[in-house]
Amino acid sequence: MRKAILLTLILLIILINAQISLSQVFSKNKLNDRHFDWMTYKTSHFIIYYYPEAEGLVRTMGDMAEIAYAKISEILEHEIKKQIPLVLYKSHSDFRQTNIVLESLDEGVGGFSELLKYRVVIPFTGSMIDFQEVITHEVTHVFQFDILYRDMFAHIYTGEFLYSPPLWFLEGLSEFMADDWDAEGEMVLKDAVIENTIVPLTRLQDFSPLGSRVYLGYKEGQSAITYLVTEYGIDKLPSILRELFVSRTKDINSALKNTIGIDLEQFNKDWEEHLKKKYWPQISEKQNPTSFGKNLTDKSEDYSSVRPIWSPSGDLIAYIAHRDIRNEIRIISAIDGSLFMAINDSNIGDRYESIRDNGTGIAWSPDGDRIAFIASKNDRDILYIVNIISKNIVKKVKMPFDVAYSPSWSPDNQKLAFIGMKNGRTDIYSFDIQEGKINQLTSDHKSKTSLSWHPTEQKIAYSMEHDTSYKLYLLDLINGQNKRITCGDQNDVSPSWSSDGKQIFYCSDVNNIYDIYTIDVEDIDNMEDDPKSMTATKRTNILTGCSTPRLSPNGEKLAMSVFHNYKSNIYILKSMEMLNERVIFSDPEELEDYSYAVDDKPIKGVKSGLKFSPDVIFVNFGYISGGALQNTIQFVASDMMGDHRVMTSIDAVSLWSQPDVIALYYYLKKRTDFGLALFNLNEYHIEGGNQFWQRNAGIQTYISYPLDKFNMLELSVGRYLRFFDYINETGSSSKSDSLNVIGLSAVRNNVAWSYIGP
């Protein structure tokens, strides 16, 4: 047993080093090249950690968090006794540099909460609506932690924290509280029900059975919780959580039996039957993608194909192809979908992480020679202009924004419009290709999703957050007029012009399904400055949903991305196949008051000092062979931001004079990571009349410097000492030796990961 404990302690050094070096082994490197001067701002139930560049979002975050707390507390009948730490990042690129968790965070992570310190960590991504939903979702998790485990460190000793309710319940409850049900969630769940690919709740202890369909797990959970509340009452939610609290293994089956009278298997059957009754009738009422238009990418093995755009000649279509977690631009025949060429980080000679597929995703120059897109590289966004014939980079521009996306070419080939966000403020900008200058075109700072430049005039159609939904706007670059052109309580997104500039095609989620609509420019010209109603034409009636409509240059075909069987494909619809149903949209008489915005007023924050708090405390006491008493204490602590990490392990045996000690410290705040390890380990053996004592002691330092996301330099220096004592019948003797070790390595990680491994 003693050798096993010693081996464990030695391995602990290796494991801690491996954990700190996680980025080089399991994911991309974290660069940590930004300085965060952390401040704190307190509300009734929260402590917000922020830095000066994020100050304009602090009051809004505090207000949203308090609203979320009041709602969750009332429904779950629970109060949290201590203030909850909220860590605010002004952008996702800043968020990806956090040390609160060590693994790399991809674009799909909208925030997280953690069990030990109740920290909630959230980036602002531009949308106030999304911001409120994410805050509510993550604060719900904190309530779950507090209800289920109460005194977390007490439960560490019992091992109860190793058990958890199923993930469908935890995530479903958080989504339910956030009221995060939209057309995308409806589309994904409906598709799974109709295609008979729903994964039963009985299999969703975690989301591993879903593979890449993790989002479906969230929506299944939310739908199940909504069904539970509808059928049995919202008061059953706190009752179920209380049942889970008293269950050491957090058994959802017994919790359901004791609250609603049926087990999980029966609940799942009832819920699935409810979904079939809801969605199956729509099969005969709407257009099924299997019999809709022409699918150009149905034989592709890609996870999804999105953001189509026509070549000016009309014979080719470019789109963004996702395969697992990588993406590239593909150019295919508009007739049969055959591949013409692919544009990715390998064949243009510049390594980036991912192409931004927000908004339009790709812009094709009017002269037909170039494609423009924005990609993320080393936590910075870069505008690429690529010649599609030579695949050479014509221009590469580092964007001075936290995030930039949705490029669209001007009709004269000279400029690119795009959406950029900086310090929480989102606006439209233009980039002059020849002069290399960026000009700001709007200054309202509201979230925008996509834009499209008029084919012949100095006008830009775009989608912007308006109250609690997105609406289309038209910006006239000549006279500066900025006019809302759609009405109603639905979301209107993805505008694009017909080649003659007489119509705008767009997607609208009327009845929670994204279909394609058009609005005539003639009707726009006759609108008031702030219209309360408008007329549009419905063009599709799709069963699941679609996005990014693009009319061909000759006006005879429409390209779009259509969702089916948990995959988006590029479809072509002939103009004669489109609907021609006139629809009138009107604003609700009473709009919901949703006036959140970036606040430029200064706040009185307090400098956040360095303060350690425990992450793990483990104590073990027992007997070992020879009648000796053994006591093991392991302690892990870190500061609030995870920049400083300390680990200590002490293993003492009553018969020995010196305990085994390991002490580790890591400093991760800068781009260069630094680590220090001290250890003193003992071995004691008796063989016949001979006694043997060995003590191993030493110090090791570790320094790593990431050159970029894929390459890292590492240096380690250590000194190791060994002391030997021998005792036998003839006497005793002692000796010692030492070893100095230095290591230097260069690590390149170009592993491409899928959802199941490298």
Instruction: Report the CATH number that the domain containing residue 379 is assigned in CATH.
Output: 2.120.10.30
Query: Mean pLDDT across the stretch 276-292?
Result: 92
pLDDT averaged over the chain?
Answer: 89
Assess whether pLDDT exceeds 60 at residue 296: yes
3-state SS, residue 65:
helix
Assigned domain for 718 exists: yes
How high is the pLDDT of residue 549?
97
Assess whether pLDDT exceeds 50 at residue 24: no
Assess whether pLDDT exceeds 60 at residue 19: no
Q: Do 51 and 158 belong to one domain?
A: yes
Query: Mean pLDDT across the stretch 9-26?
Result: 44
Assess whether pLDDT exceeds 70 at residue 593: no
Query: Mean pLDDT across the stretch 719-743?
Result: 86
Assigned domain for 53 exists: yes
| Number of domains making up the chain | 4
pLDDT-derived band at 383 (thresholds 50, 70, 90) equals: very high
How high is the pLDDT of residue 756?
46
- State if pTM tops 0.75: yes
Find out whether 86 and 122 touch, Cβ atoms under 8 Å.
yes
Q: Which of 2-11, 328-337, 479-488 has the lowest mean pLDDT?
A: 2-11
Find out whether 91 and 85 touch, Cβ atoms under 8 Å.
no
Q: What is the CA radius of gyration of the chain?
A: 30
d(C-alpha 404, C-alpha 435), whole Å: 19
Find out whether 548 and 307 touch, Cβ atoms under 8 Å.
yes
Domain span including residue 415: 349-445
How high is the pLDDT of residue 629?
75
644, 725, 634: which is closest to 685 by C-alpha? 725
Write out the H or E segment, with its range, that includes residue 516: strand 515-520
Q: Do 106 and 204 belong to one domain?
A: no
Assigned domain for 310 exists: no
Assigned domain for 544 exists: no
d(C-alpha 190, C-alpha 167), whole Å: 21
145, 203, 139: which is closest to 175 by C-alpha? 139
Q: Do 138 and 197 belong to one domain?
A: no
Amino acid occupying residue 441: L
d(C-alpha 334, C-alpha 315), whole Å: 5
Q: Do 725 and 659 belong to one domain?
A: yes
The domain boundary, picked from 393, 418, 445, lies at: 445
Query: Mean pLDDT across the stretch 85-100?
Result: 95
**Which residues, in sequence order, are CB contacts of 414 under 8 Å at separation 6+?**
432, 433, 434
Number of Cα atoms under 13 Å in the Cβ half of residue 218: 18
Q: Do 70 and 145 belong to one domain?
A: yes
**Residue 577 CA, distance from chain mean position:** 38
The domain boundary, picked from 262, 285, 308, lies at: 285
- % the chain with pLDDT above 90: 70
Assess whether pLDDT exceeds 70 at residue 535: yes
Strand partners, 624: 628
Find out whether 399 and 89 touch, Cβ atoms under 8 Å.
no
pLDDT tens digits for range 632-673: 888 899 999 999 999 999 888 766 667 889 999 999 999 999
How high is the pLDDT of residue 104?
84
**Residue whose structure tokens are 């093995």:** 301
Beta strands of 230-358 (E only): which ranges? 294-295, 304-310, 316-323, 326-333, 339-343, 354-355
Assigned domain for 570 exists: no
Assess whether pLDDT exceeds 60 at residue 567: yes
3-state SS, residue 99:
coil
pLDDT-derived band at 108 (thresholds 50, 70, 90) equals: confident
Assigned domain for 25 exists: no
Neighbouring C-beta atoms of residue 346, cutoff 10 Å: 10
718, 503, 701, 719: which is closest to 17 by C-alpha? 701
Q: Do 129 and 181 belong to one domain?
A: no
Its sign, for the CA torsion 323, 329, 334, 335, is negative
The domain boundary, picked from 129, 145, 162, lies at: 162
Assigned domain for 546 exists: no
Assigned domain for 244 exists: yes
How high is the pLDDT of residue 623?
67
647, 315, 211, 160: which is closest to 203 by C-alpha? 211
pLDDT tens digits for range 113-172: 998 899 999 999 999 999 999 999 999 999 999 999 886 665 555 666 778 999 999 999
